[in-house]
Amino acid sequence: MEWKLTREPLASVATDAIIVFHSKERESTQGMAREIDEALGFRISSLITAGEITGKLGEVTQLHNWGKIPSGRVIVVGLGEGDQTDLHQFRHAIAAASRAAKQKGLKSLGIGCPSSIIDRYNAVDAVQAIVEGIELGTYEHQKYQSETKKRELKSVLISIPQLNEQAAQAGIERGQIFARATNFARYLSHEPANLLTPQQFVDHAKQVAEKRGLDMEVLDESRLADLGMQALLSVARGSEAGARMIVLSYRGAPESTEVLGLVGKGVTFDSGGLQLKPSPFMLDMKEDMAGAAAVLAAMDAIGELRPHSNVLAVIPVCENMVNGQAYRPGDVIRSFSGKTIEVAHTDAEGRIILADAISYAKRKGATRLVDVATLTGAVVVALGHEATGMMGNDEEWADEVKSAARIAGERMWELPMYKEYGIYVESEIADVKNEGGSPAGCIQGGLFLQAFAEETPWVHLDIAGSATAPRESGIFAKGATGVAVRTLIQLAVRFG
């Protein structure tokens, strides 16, 4: 998509459509919308009076220009409660408007950056939000159909009367980097498991490493065996596809010993293993690598932004399948850390492969950790698809991740890690077990991983709910959301 800036008012730009905003409980149009409204002979105001335009967040109303302005159409989009509009809502509204424009087959858009948003935040963040709203809102998942309708939004012109060119340009660049990375994660998550095998995931990682000049190491099965990574190898044994551990490293602060470690669950398909998932629950399990996708996509963006920090990514990839070699309930596995794991449930495989990945990230020098994983159905019960479940062992580090998420506009909610919950992962024959019944299912996942993070400040993000959107809404297309990518990038930028 091509991005351009102008000082000219929206009423005089010539695009296929211009986007203007309206907030709830306002009887008339304001700011830029006012100018357009006047030019159109107050047609927008009359629709407001008629109750057809309410200003509800994401409400889209399309009007023609009646030959009164150079642009072909006017799209009025609701901003919700005007005085409280945050960047999250701002993106949501812009995404809804631009998606509607794309669906109509429009190719160029004009959009004004409301001065209220610039005043409350700043020009960089406001423009970044516009770019993210449009690039994320107009994203469409890969299709494999012989005939597809090809619609493409080609250019967007942002009108800012008091234009600070440098700030706006920085906002465009950041917005593009954050949105492209998110869309890359969406693409990977959405790919069917037969087209994105562990080896194909490795190939994607190689391309990222080459493009961004990152150091890359791929541990294959014999290397994994030499290192004693039986946790990852055990889960992978039920599949012909085998296991890989991908290690990517970005060194933007060579003088520092601080290293941000990002770990992502990369189960390219989760059948449940011998404790096979019931059919309806298996269908979406191609997305069980959304955590790995988020980490890889974030590394892509970090390699492009080049912040002053060191970032290490460790991504275990495999399938959880069934054959004569598959791991069994009751098996005891020695992990890379030396701790033994009792397999209480073969479908709680994510935490097992993450155990080795977290230990390896520490071995490789990570001083702070974040893992991202589609770990439990329980987090979907607790928080739905609207928020990521967050747990950790260090308050300060958890606060850091929370602020990064807030800035990125992603919702994360912390769950408690009281030590009384420890009974659920206590094993009678091994150091830990991977499942302890239905209570506190999401927290059990966190507690299990904590045993491997040990003293290193660590945050666990359970994205099993937030990685998929059940319906199209705001910046989300139905399906993979690319959640956590923007938070991770933000974290790496702030880490420096």
| Residues of this chain that bind ligand BES (CB under 6 A) | 270, 288, 345, 347-350, 374-378, 380, 435, 441, 464
Give the nearer residue to ligand BES in terms of CB position, either 116 or 376.
Answer: 376
Judged by CB under 5 A, the residue of 347, 410, 435, 462 near Zn ion is 347
Of 264 and 350, the one with the shorter C-beta distance to Zn ion is 350
Of 16, 287, 288, 342, the one binding Zn ion (CB under 5 A) is 288
377 binds, among ligand BES, Zn ion, none (CB under 5 to 8 A by kind): ligand BES
- In the list 270, 300, 356, 410, the residue contacting Zn ion (rule: CB under 5 A) is 270
Catalytic residue flag (residue 277)? yes
Least distance in Å: CB of 316 to Zn ion?
Answer: 12
Tell me how far apart the alpha carbons of residues 305 and 317 are, in angstroms, rounded to a whole number: 26
Please give the Cα distance from 453 to 314 (Å, whole number): 14
Interaction of residue 287 with Zn ion, rule CB under 5 A: no
Residue 280: HSE in the Cβ half-sphere, 13 Å Cα cutoff:
0
Q: Look up residue 216 and give its amino acid.
A: M
The enclosing H or E element of 225 equals helix 221-227
With CB under 5 to 8 Å by kind, the binding choice for 329 among ligand BES, Zn ion, none is none
Nearest to 281 by CA among 272, 268, 273, 290: 272
Runs of H (alpha helix) within 71-140: 87-103, 115-120, 123-137
Nearer to ligand BES, 452 or 495 (CB): 452
Query: Which residue out of 277, 339, 364, 406 is catalytically annotated?
Result: 277
The structure tokens listed for 289 are 């690598």
Q: Name which of 204 and 351 has its Cβ closer to ligand BES.
A: 351
**356, burial (CB in 10 Å: exposed 0-12, middle 13-18, buried 19+):** buried
Among the listed residues 73, 102, 237, 351, the single catalytic one is 351
Active site residue 351: yes
Alpha carbon distances (Å) from 72 to 22, 87, 109: 19, 28, 10
Q: Is 300 in the site for Zn ion (CB under 5 A)?
A: no
How far from each other are the two terminal CA atoms of the chain, in whole angstroms?
A: 30
Cβ atoms 55, 82 nearer than 8 A = yes
> Please, which residue, 380 or 405, has the CB nearer to ligand BES?
380
Q: Which two tokens stand for residue 424?
A: 């659920």
Query: Min. distance of Cβ 271 from Zn ion in angstroms?
Result: 8
CB of 158 to Zn ion, least distance (A): 41
Which residue ranges make up the site for Zn ion (CB under 5 A)? Answer: 267, 270, 288, 347, 349-350
Catalytic sites, residue numbers: 277, 351
